[in-house]
Protein backbone atom coordinates (compact mmCIF):
# COMPACT_ATOMS: atom_id res chain seq x y z
CA UNK A 1 0.00 0.00 0.00
CA UNK A 2 1.40 3.43 -0.89
CA UNK A 3 2.00 5.92 1.95
CA UNK A 4 -0.94 8.19 1.09
CA UNK A 5 -3.38 5.26 1.04
CA UNK A 6 -1.93 3.93 4.30
CA UNK A 7 -2.26 7.27 6.06
CA UNK A 8 -5.82 7.66 4.74
CA UNK A 9 -6.76 4.23 6.12
CA UNK A 10 -5.38 5.14 9.52
CA UNK A 11 -7.24 8.47 9.54
CA UNK A 12 -10.50 6.71 8.71
CA UNK A 13 -9.92 4.19 11.50
CA UNK A 14 -8.86 6.82 14.02
CA UNK A 15 -11.07 8.10 16.81
CA UNK A 16 -8.54 10.53 18.33
CA UNK A 17 -6.43 12.14 15.61
CA UNK A 18 -4.06 14.83 16.84
CA UNK A 19 -2.16 16.95 14.31
CA UNK A 20 1.09 18.62 15.38
CA UNK A 21 2.41 21.38 13.11
CA UNK A 22 5.64 23.33 12.80
CA UNK A 23 7.33 25.99 10.70
CA UNK A 24 7.32 23.84 7.56
CA UNK A 25 3.58 24.41 7.33
CA UNK A 26 3.88 28.19 7.45
CA UNK A 27 6.74 28.51 4.97
CA UNK A 28 4.26 27.50 2.27
CA UNK A 29 2.30 30.66 3.17
CA UNK A 30 5.41 32.78 2.60
CA UNK A 31 6.44 33.04 6.25
CA UNK A 32 10.16 32.29 6.51
CA UNK A 33 11.44 29.71 8.95
CA UNK A 34 12.98 32.10 11.44
CA UNK A 35 15.44 29.42 12.61
CA UNK A 36 16.72 28.42 9.18
CA UNK A 37 19.87 29.81 7.50
CA UNK A 38 19.13 33.40 6.52
CA UNK A 39 16.28 33.59 9.07
CA UNK A 40 16.20 36.25 11.77
CA UNK A 41 18.05 34.06 14.25
CA UNK A 42 21.02 33.91 11.91
CA UNK A 43 21.20 37.71 12.05
CA UNK A 44 20.43 38.24 15.74
CA UNK A 45 21.94 36.67 18.84
CA UNK A 46 19.14 34.81 20.66
CA UNK A 47 20.86 35.53 23.97
CA UNK A 48 20.07 39.21 23.46
CA UNK A 49 16.37 38.38 23.58
CA UNK A 50 16.28 36.35 26.76
CA UNK A 51 13.09 36.99 28.73
CA UNK A 52 14.98 38.17 31.80
CA UNK A 53 16.79 40.76 29.70
CA UNK A 54 13.43 41.97 28.39
CA UNK A 55 12.21 42.44 31.94
CA UNK A 56 15.38 44.12 33.17
CA UNK A 57 16.31 46.62 30.49
CA UNK A 58 14.51 49.28 28.46
CA UNK A 59 17.22 48.95 25.80
CA UNK A 60 16.55 45.21 25.57
CA UNK A 61 12.83 45.84 25.22
CA UNK A 62 13.46 48.29 22.39
CA UNK A 63 15.70 45.77 20.62
CA UNK A 64 13.13 43.03 21.14
CA UNK A 65 10.36 45.14 19.58
CA UNK A 66 12.61 45.85 16.61
CA UNK A 67 12.96 42.10 16.04
CA UNK A 68 9.27 41.46 16.69
CA UNK A 69 8.32 44.09 14.12
CA UNK A 70 10.50 42.38 11.52
CA UNK A 71 8.85 39.04 12.23
CA UNK A 72 5.35 40.51 12.19
CA UNK A 73 5.95 42.09 8.79
CA UNK A 74 6.22 38.55 7.40
CA UNK A 75 3.30 37.15 9.39
CA UNK A 76 0.76 39.96 8.93
CA UNK A 77 -0.05 39.45 5.22
CA UNK A 78 0.13 35.63 5.28
CA UNK A 79 -2.90 33.51 4.48
CA UNK A 80 -3.64 29.82 5.09
CA UNK A 81 -2.19 27.54 2.43
CA UNK A 82 -3.30 24.18 1.06
CA UNK A 83 -1.89 22.34 4.09
CA UNK A 84 -3.84 24.48 6.58
CA UNK A 85 -6.96 24.02 4.49
CA UNK A 86 -6.48 20.26 4.35
CA UNK A 87 -6.10 20.03 8.14
CA UNK A 88 -9.28 22.08 8.51
CA UNK A 89 -11.05 19.75 6.07
CA UNK A 90 -10.19 16.83 8.37
CA UNK A 91 -11.75 18.83 11.19
CA UNK A 92 -14.84 19.55 9.11
CA UNK A 93 -15.15 15.84 8.33
CA UNK A 94 -15.18 15.07 12.05
CA UNK A 95 -11.78 13.33 11.97
CA UNK A 96 -9.74 15.73 14.11
CA UNK A 97 -9.47 15.89 17.89
CA UNK A 98 -7.06 18.84 18.05
CA UNK A 99 -4.28 20.80 16.38
CA UNK A 100 -1.16 21.44 18.45
CA UNK A 101 1.10 23.99 16.80
CA UNK A 102 4.52 25.47 17.36
CA UNK A 103 3.62 28.30 14.99
CA UNK A 104 2.76 31.81 16.18
CA UNK A 105 1.02 33.06 13.03
CA UNK A 106 -2.64 32.24 13.75
CA UNK A 107 -3.10 30.58 10.36
CA UNK A 108 -4.91 27.53 11.71
CA UNK A 109 -7.65 29.72 13.13
CA UNK A 110 -7.79 31.74 9.92
CA UNK A 111 -8.27 28.46 8.04
CA UNK A 112 -11.50 27.89 9.96
CA UNK A 113 -10.79 25.90 13.13
CA UNK A 114 -12.61 26.91 16.30
CA UNK A 115 -10.08 28.43 18.73
CA UNK A 116 -10.73 25.68 21.26
CA UNK A 117 -9.49 23.08 18.75
CA UNK A 118 -6.07 24.77 18.56
CA UNK A 119 -3.25 24.71 21.11
CA UNK A 120 -0.61 27.36 20.41
CA UNK A 121 2.35 26.03 22.36
CA UNK A 122 4.59 29.01 21.63
CA UNK A 123 1.87 31.67 21.83
CA UNK A 124 0.71 34.02 19.11
CA UNK A 125 2.18 37.05 17.36
CA UNK A 126 -1.31 38.40 16.71
CA UNK A 127 -1.80 39.67 20.25
CA UNK A 128 0.20 41.65 22.79
CA UNK A 129 0.06 41.24 26.56
CA UNK A 130 0.91 43.51 29.46
CA UNK A 131 3.37 41.64 31.66
CA UNK A 132 2.21 43.56 34.72
CA UNK A 133 -1.61 43.47 34.68
CA UNK A 134 -2.28 40.97 31.89
CA UNK A 135 -4.29 43.30 29.65
CA UNK A 136 -4.48 41.97 26.09
CA UNK A 137 -4.20 44.05 22.92
CA UNK A 138 -4.64 43.36 19.23
CA UNK A 139 -1.21 43.39 17.61
CA UNK A 140 -2.22 45.87 14.89
CA UNK A 141 -3.12 48.44 17.55
CA UNK A 142 0.36 48.21 19.07
CA UNK A 143 1.98 48.11 15.64
CA UNK A 144 0.48 51.53 14.94
CA UNK A 145 2.24 52.89 18.03
CA UNK A 146 5.54 51.43 16.87
CA UNK A 147 5.10 52.98 13.44
CA UNK A 148 4.49 56.33 15.15
CA UNK A 149 7.93 56.11 16.73
CA UNK A 150 7.26 54.47 20.11
CA UNK A 151 10.14 52.05 20.61
CA UNK A 152 8.92 50.14 23.67
CA UNK A 153 5.13 50.37 24.18
CA UNK A 154 3.56 50.25 27.63
CA UNK A 155 0.12 49.41 28.96
CA UNK A 156 -2.59 52.08 28.93
CA UNK A 157 -3.98 50.87 32.26
CA UNK A 158 -0.95 50.24 34.46
CA UNK A 159 2.13 51.43 32.53
CA UNK A 160 3.61 47.93 32.53
CA UNK A 161 5.77 46.67 29.66
CA UNK A 162 3.96 45.22 26.67
CA UNK A 163 5.24 42.12 24.91
CA UNK A 164 3.98 40.05 21.98
CA UNK A 165 2.04 37.06 23.32
CA UNK A 166 4.76 34.67 22.17
CA UNK A 167 7.15 32.58 24.25
CA UNK A 168 10.66 34.03 24.40
CA UNK A 169 13.96 32.37 25.19
CA UNK A 170 14.08 31.83 28.94
CA UNK A 171 10.34 32.34 29.37
CA UNK A 172 8.28 29.55 30.92
CA UNK A 173 6.05 27.57 28.59
CA UNK A 174 2.34 28.33 29.08
CA UNK A 175 1.12 25.92 31.76
CA UNK A 176 -2.41 25.32 30.51
CA UNK A 177 -1.43 24.83 26.87
CA UNK A 178 1.51 22.58 27.70
CA UNK A 179 -0.54 20.42 30.07
CA UNK A 180 -3.37 20.11 27.54
CA UNK A 181 -0.95 19.27 24.72
CA UNK A 182 0.52 16.38 26.69
CA UNK A 183 -2.95 15.19 27.72
CA UNK A 184 -4.23 15.16 24.15
CA UNK A 185 -1.05 13.53 22.85
CA UNK A 186 -1.35 10.75 25.40
CA UNK A 187 -4.99 10.15 24.41
CA UNK A 188 -4.35 10.13 20.65
CA UNK A 189 -4.63 6.92 18.65
CA UNK A 190 -3.08 8.64 15.60
CA UNK A 191 -0.53 11.45 15.89
CA UNK A 192 0.47 13.27 12.71
CA UNK A 193 3.51 15.54 12.64
CA UNK A 194 3.40 18.04 9.77
CA UNK A 195 6.24 20.40 8.91
CA UNK A 196 8.22 20.15 12.13
CA UNK A 197 11.90 19.29 12.48
CA UNK A 198 11.11 17.95 15.97
CA UNK A 199 14.18 19.51 17.57
CA UNK A 200 12.65 22.29 19.71
CA UNK A 201 11.88 21.04 23.21
CA UNK A 202 9.64 20.44 25.06
CA UNK A 203 7.25 20.49 22.09
CA UNK A 204 9.30 17.88 20.24
CA UNK A 205 8.63 15.32 22.97
CA UNK A 206 4.88 15.24 22.23
CA UNK A 207 5.18 12.59 19.48
CA UNK A 208 7.09 10.43 21.94
CA UNK A 209 4.30 10.85 24.52
CA UNK A 210 1.74 9.80 21.91
CA UNK A 211 3.78 6.82 20.76
CA UNK A 212 4.37 5.61 24.32
CA UNK A 213 0.62 5.67 24.88
CA UNK A 214 -0.02 3.45 21.89
CA UNK A 215 -0.69 5.92 19.06
CA UNK A 216 0.44 5.42 15.50
CA UNK A 217 2.93 8.10 14.49
CA UNK A 218 2.97 9.64 11.00
CA UNK A 219 5.58 12.25 10.07
CA UNK A 220 5.20 14.50 7.02
CA UNK A 221 8.24 16.75 6.60
CA UNK A 222 10.68 17.80 3.89
CA UNK A 223 13.74 16.84 5.92
CA UNK A 224 14.53 13.91 8.23
CA UNK A 225 13.62 14.25 11.91
CA UNK A 226 15.07 12.60 15.04
CA UNK A 227 11.89 10.50 15.35
CA UNK A 228 11.76 9.03 11.85
CA UNK A 229 12.95 5.63 13.08
CA UNK A 230 10.21 5.64 15.71
CA UNK A 231 7.44 6.58 13.27
CA UNK A 232 5.02 4.07 11.79
CA UNK A 233 5.04 6.05 8.55
CA UNK A 234 7.26 8.83 7.16
CA UNK A 235 6.16 10.76 4.08
CA UNK A 236 8.94 13.12 2.93
CA UNK A 237 7.98 16.23 1.00
CA UNK A 238 6.06 19.51 1.13
CA UNK A 239 3.01 19.57 3.37
CA UNK A 240 0.54 21.19 0.98
CA UNK A 241 0.58 18.69 -1.90
CA UNK A 242 0.85 15.68 0.42
CA UNK A 243 -2.02 16.72 2.67
CA UNK A 244 -4.22 17.74 -0.25
CA UNK A 245 -3.81 14.28 -1.77
CA UNK A 246 -4.33 12.64 1.60
CA UNK A 247 -7.57 14.46 2.34
CA UNK A 248 -8.93 13.73 -1.14
CA UNK A 249 -8.23 10.04 -0.51
CA UNK A 250 -10.02 10.21 2.84
CA UNK A 251 -13.06 11.86 1.23
CA UNK A 252 -13.15 9.23 -1.53
CA UNK A 253 -13.11 6.43 1.03
CA UNK A 254 -15.84 8.11 3.07
CA UNK A 255 -17.98 8.40 -0.06
CA UNK A 256 -17.42 4.71 -0.83
CA UNK A 257 -18.54 3.78 2.69
CA UNK A 258 -21.93 5.44 2.26
Distance CA 258, CA 233 (A): 28
Cα angle 234, 32, 117; round to 5: 60
CB atoms within 10 A of CB 73: 10
Give the residue from 83, 81, 77 showing the smallest Cα distance to 99: 83
The residues facing 194 across adjacent strands are 21, 220
Out of 108, 113, 122, 127, the active site residue is 122
Q: What is the DSSP string of 123-158?
A: EEEEEEEETTT--EEEHHHHHHHHHTT-SS-B-TTT
**Residues 90 and 11 sit within 8 Å (Cβ to Cβ):** yes
* Whether 108 is catalytic: no
**Residues 248 and 20 sit within 8 Å (Cβ to Cβ):** no
Q: Which residues of 11-45 are buried (b: 16+ CB within 10 A; e: fewer)?
A: beebebbbbbbbbbbbbbbebebbeeeeebbeebe
**Residues 100 and 206 sit within 8 Å (Cβ to Cβ):** yes
Which residues are annotated as catalytic? 122
Amino acid sequence: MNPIDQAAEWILASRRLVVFTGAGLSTESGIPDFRSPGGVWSRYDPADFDFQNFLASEASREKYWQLATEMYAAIRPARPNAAHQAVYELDRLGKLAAVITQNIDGLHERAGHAPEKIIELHGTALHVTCLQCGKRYERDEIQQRLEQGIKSPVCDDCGGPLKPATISFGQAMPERETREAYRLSSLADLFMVIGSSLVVQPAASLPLAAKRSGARLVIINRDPTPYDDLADLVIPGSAGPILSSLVERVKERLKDQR
